[in-house]
Amino acid sequence: MSYVNLLIHAVVRTYKSELTLPTDDRVKFLYQEIWGIIKNKGGYLYRINSMPDHVHVHGVKDMPHYPKVWKINKR
């Protein structure tokens, strides 16, 4: 069976772009939590970085080439 890699670049912003994300040692804990969520969902985290008002997450998700949810129309 062939597989497709779904590359993801997600940017998560705080409410009203408030500067509320940690910029000290607590940011390491935030990164570990995000990495754990992605890992539990079967993904792989390439890179993560943040600013005080948003987080960039670069990851990949392996998935079957034609999962049952995809409908293929043959005409």
Domain positions in the chain: 3-64
Predicted confidence at residue 2, as pLDDT, reads 63
The reported pLDDT for the residue numbered 64 is: 56
**Percentage, residues of the chain above pLDDT 90:** 12
Q: How far apart are CA 8 and CA 12, in angstroms?
A: 12
User: Which amino acid belongs to residue 33?
Assistant: E
- State percent of the chain over pLDDT 70: 76
Rounded mean pLDDT, 26-37: 89
- Band the pLDDT of 63: cuts 50, 70, 90: low
pTM score above 0.75 = no
Question: Does 62 have pLDDT greater than 70?
Answer: no
**Distance from C-alpha of 63 to C-alpha of 43, rounded to nearest angstrom:** 10
